[in-house]
Structure 1
Amino acid sequence: MVDVQYSLADVAKITGKSEKTISRWIKSGKLPAVRHGTGYLINEIDIPLRLDASISRHDFIQKRLLVSASSEVTTASAAPVSRGVDISGLIDVEKVAGLITGGQVDTPGKNLENLSLMLQKHQTELEKIIREQNELAEKYARATYKIGQLEERNRQLEEVNHRHEQKLQLLPMPEQWTNTQKEMGTLREDLVQKEISYQTRVNLLEQELKQEKEVKSSLENALEQEKNKNFWQRLGALFK
């Protein structure tokens, strides 16, 4: 069950302390509280009380608030209010409950019952509001997380786009492509001409090498014949 919350002024009425004292307790950390607009809200369970064992905490607080409300009404008004009720004599919680609930102040027990039903209704509505607030907070958290994911994805896409732009800057423009193709065609023609020239020179060198080999072979044959001729001449000279 969701804990009931009270304002700083209500806590002052319940505890019998001044609002400055309650504010000082909150600022010093003695009394837990949460910010609500320009004021504070204090959970019912955190309100410092001295309770009678025969009464519940919630009923005690409600009666203290009713008594405080009746005292304020008595102080603020010296004349009778509508319904013909003499406010100066309101010291009974039953009568104050009748005024709050709009019931008859002379109905024993009925006014407190109506007040209890009203408080239960308000409690139910408060719990519903708190549940809706929690659901909205959860949706907000999910939306915030989703936004964070989308921002991270967007950052990654921007990095990829930046890298692509850098690569595109390195690529040549269409005019540069045309000039490059012309230069490549010229270089290809030069290479073909040089290849033909080199092949011609190779053929000439091969022919010269072949001729050199033939000359060498002829010289070797002539030398061999000369050697044989000299050998036989010398051999004939020895036998003479």
Structure 2
Amino acid sequence: MHTFSVIPLALLTQPYFRADVPRYIPYATIGLIFTHEMLHAFDLTGIRYDGNGEPKEWFSPESRLRLEARLDCVARQYAATFSKKVSFKGANVDVQVKRSSNVPLTCHPVLSQFDWNVTRNEDMADISGLQIAYRAWSSLQEGDAADLRLPGLNLNTRQLFFLNAAQTYCSHLSPEDYIVLVEMDFHTPFPERVNGIMMNSPSFAEAYNCPIGSPMNPTRKCSTW
């Protein structure tokens, strides 16, 4: 059995690599997608296969335990943070997007409860992928090589990097689509996916001056990188 992450060739045909496009655009979009997929080699599925996709355990037991602890941080944080009401067929339905088995149920009716561990590999790749993409872009921002702002927007280049990264995974969903994603997908649904990525980025909080302890700058952040 082989396992591979796939990056469609069509992504490389889009106009992200033009010389007149600021580099925060390709680094925050294509860069984030590439780092996300590469990091799947280091999640709980990827560490069971070697570089050829053949079954092989290559993490030590100690390293696996440390990885599981960091992934558990993500699962617990998302379970404690993300719940919402969805207007569905004339009623407001409580939706706790995913539920960690370690978090007790409330007395309120909740739709689509299941383990946050379902999404934690994807969440890890999201969070750590953003950190790597941002670090790579930041290393290029010196002197005359620094990117320029976009005209008409009162945002600096760091803010524009995170804005473009957010748009990579941003989508508007109908209530029906949202509930289907909660039920069936192993990715965190929108907009929680974008918020989860950004709230675990110290660089995002610094760029947008988010106060410590605010929803987008929690005092405890999760990362595996």
- After TM superposition, the score normalised by the length of structure 1 is 0.21
TM-score by length of 2: 0.22
* Higher fraction of helix: 1
Point out which structure has higher relative CO (alpha carbons under 8 A, 6+ apart): 2
